[in-house]
Structure 1
């Protein structure tokens, strides 16, 4: 856990609902003021103001990002959830705001940190520590992590939840939903509510550190015979619903693997894709948050360290079967079976017009054609990705409204999208078809 946040970015976290609402109100007032000024300037030039252009100015994007990152919690987490480069449900303009939140982590100041520790650790806790590094080794949307040495010899990482985060999820999600709707960029008829509800439920799961501790133990058992992975052990005597104590695990940011030889980059991505498919087809549970900060890489041991298990999804066996059928149809190039698989998964439904159905299935064909016929895929080649984005935009302009995806499918797709994004970051080249065949039970 050697990845450090920017320690100079320390600010009190608003923990009460009224205080957090005040931050949203302040942000909205400032944004509205900027919009009014921009409107007057455009009118002065004889131009008719366009509201979305007034909202998404660089100054407003900066202000919204700053306020959400100071609040942390759901307000920041939703931005991270929807800011992946593929699989976005947001238009590119609004995604600018959200994507900025990936690296915008503020830490609690020491005074507030001490208050949290006093509230959730036993009296006299400080006397049991040999050292406590007040500078967090990681700071994210739900909590921050500190390295501590106990007098009994243990070297631990304490994940400490920000105050007020769990109680503010509902209001934060609603406020971010208002922000998204304010943009005026979502297609008419787009159903945002189910996605916000999925985010709300996932955030509630992620703030339950007791549940996360159980998942850490579970994945530690599932991967105990897989030498390429390391999962930190849980220390239950220092853990509770707001603090999670784990073994401190040394390693660098997973993105640093980009500096390793090609063979290592390829192996890391092969291992991570194989793990995701094992989760889907064998384990029946999947860690669905593909945030790069959830992985470390230890070059000395060539182990991938898996850190965060707050967003673990139980996989319905029927969902795994749907993916198996989709992969089989895709690798065999069977258009009829692809159409059936896409409908079973909810990508298209009875309201999807025939022309739109054909175009969507053709897009799926393009993905599998690359996987099936290209040998080792060069993840840095963005040709197909840009082509699919252009075709997706053309679908929207043609009036296509996607059906509401089942939450399971949405989260699984997000995991795979994040892995492909990481593959591009690392410059990996992997024979994905072979991995798919090996894990889905498909014979050549």
Structure 2
């Protein structure tokens, strides 16, 4: 892909590009239908259609960067829920969005650095590589050597990212039906709402620097988890220590090619990611809220490195105690008490009525990981859960329409959903309940009391 001078800023231009996705997919579907009538091979035609649709999805979202790419990255975590018969092409295209986009030219990067670090910014570096090492949704990363000899990662925000992000999110909110068809079972409306809410925070890299400093301090010296230290920050530039490792997205790909030979490393990744997410609220007072495989790396010494702290949820008191109590009641099948707790804490839409049995039937597909000490997360399991969750004619869907997610739980469930998606991609086994028992307030106390 060629260079882009900067993000396409005007909303009309970005809307036109985004509009290409549904129009292009619809056009190809019509052509494919014509070929089928003419006696073409149905499976081959479907495969071609899906591959072209996936390529277009990646190309358009990647070119636009901003909110479009950020949404694509969030969507990519859920690709394990895509049925196998047409999942492969979307999987490849969406996975690319986790770390790939057309780069900014060097002169644009230099201009941003002039504005953010001062016109003498080169004196702060021994060397600076003009070719980006990776791309993010609203910025790209360059490798450099700081003045004190440390190798650093320099994330530079795309000019116009702020305008583009806001424009994209408005446009994408009108296209939720299309994306829901790409990833069956994924309710994209809350995802978009939550991304929109966090937009302003993520556009100022000083917020990310503050979050990352808190994580780096809390995990400093940790035997298994590494958070790179922040070296310098400005509103549109952040400089952090550079880490060399294998991205979890690459480990997922290796796992698909060699399931037996990579089982140990995949299970280790799962265990460390689980430990990081479950322990962070109590250890740091924050939850890392951007779970996709591009934000995690395995280092040569077997430690897990975590990057990109732009999206974090404040949790000064750890996970909400009510959530732990709800899990306890689910595990012990005390559905009468669970239903009452959900009513009392805003999980049921005012004026709606649900019974204990309806809650039990609704939750059953999701609670497999709670039934055993260790659980094997697979694509097949996730596809089954997603299939049940998206069956609009089922009694469970009627129950779902009576429920709501309280605002304070939105980020928790985004992280839970994204993490489960990664675990299914990894095809990994995880001591899930051990993590719950160790780190979930309310669960610990409720279980010990009972």
TM-score by structure 1 length? 0.79
Change (3 A) 1:353 1:391: farther
Change (3 A) 1:261 1:344: farther
In structure 2, the residue matched to 1:25 is: 16
1:122 pairs, out of 118, 125, 148, with 118
Change (3 A) 1:100 1:369: closer
Does the Cα contact within 8 Å between 1:280 and 1:320 map onto a contact in 2? no
Structure 1 window deviating more from structure 2 (243-252 vs 362-371): it is: 362-371
In structure 2, the residue matched to 1:250 is: 244
* Partner Cα separation in structure 2 for residue 431 and residue 128 of structure 1: 45
In structure 2, the residue matched to 1:49 is: none
In structure 1, the residue matched to 2:360 is: 361
Over residues 44-103 of structure 1, what are the superposed CA-to-partner deviations in whole Å (9 max), with x where a residue is unaligned?
Answer: 999xxxxxx9xx976455434322210101111122224432899xxx999987983441
Superposed, 1:400-411 pairs within 5 Å as 400=398, 402=401, 403-411=403-411
2:193 paired with 1:197: yes
Report how many aligned residue pairs link the two structures.
Answer: 417
* Partner Cα separation in structure 1 for residue 354 and residue 309 of structure 2: 41
Q: What RMSD in Å do the two structures reach over aligned CA positions?
A: 3.9
In structure 2, the residue matched to 1:303 is: 303
Structure 1: gaps of 5 or more residues = 1-8, 47-52
Over residues 317-346 of structure 1, what are the superposed CA-to-partner deviations in whole Å (9 max), with x where a residue is unaligned?
Answer: 596112111221123232223323444565
Does the Cα contact within 8 Å between 2:179 and 2:188 map onto a contact in 1? no
In structure 2, the residue matched to 1:231 is: 227
Over residues 114-148 of structure 1, what are the superposed CA-to-partner deviations in whole Å (9 max), with x where a residue is unaligned?
Answer: 33333333213235433222222221211111110
Change (3 A) 1:195 1:34: closer
Superposed, 1:242-321 pairs within 5 Å as 242-255=236-249, 262=263, 265-281=266-282, 283-300=284-301, 302-315=302-315, 317=317, 320-321=320-321
- Report the alpha carbon displacement of residue 174 of structure 1 after superposing the two structures with TM: 0.7
* Partner Cα separation in structure 1 for residue 80 and residue 360 of structure 2: 16
Structure 2: gaps of 5 or more residues = 38-45
Does the Cα contact within 8 Å between 1:13 and 1:163 map onto a contact in 2? no
Over residues 222-253 of structure 1, what are the superposed CA-to-partner deviations in whole Å (9 max), with x where a residue is unaligned?
Answer: 222522111111113xx201000111122221
In structure 1, the residue matched to 2:330 is: 330
**2:126 match: secondary structure:** strand
- Report the alpha carbon displacement of residue 361 of structure 1 after superposing the two structures with TM: 2.7
Over residues 10-46 of structure 1, what are the superposed CA-to-partner deviations in whole Å (9 max), with x where a residue is unaligned?
Answer: 421544632x531421452685477468669979999
* Partner Cα separation in structure 1 for residue 430 and residue 250 of structure 2: 18
* Partner Cα separation in structure 2 for residue 254 and residue 57 of structure 1: 25
Does the Cα contact within 8 Å between 2:278 and 2:439 map onto a contact in 1? yes
* Partner Cα separation in structure 1 for residue 250 and residue 180 of structure 2: 38
In structure 2, the residue matched to 1:385 is: 382
TM-score by structure 2 length? 0.78
2:11 paired with 1:12: no
2:218 paired with 1:222: yes
- Report the alpha carbon displacement of residue 191 of structure 1 after superposing the two structures with TM: 10
Change (3 A) 1:331 1:13: farther
* Partner Cα separation in structure 1 for residue 425 and residue 28 of structure 2: 40
Structure 1 window deviating more from structure 2 (171-180 vs 406-415): it is: 406-415
1:240 pairs, out of 234, 237, 240, with 234
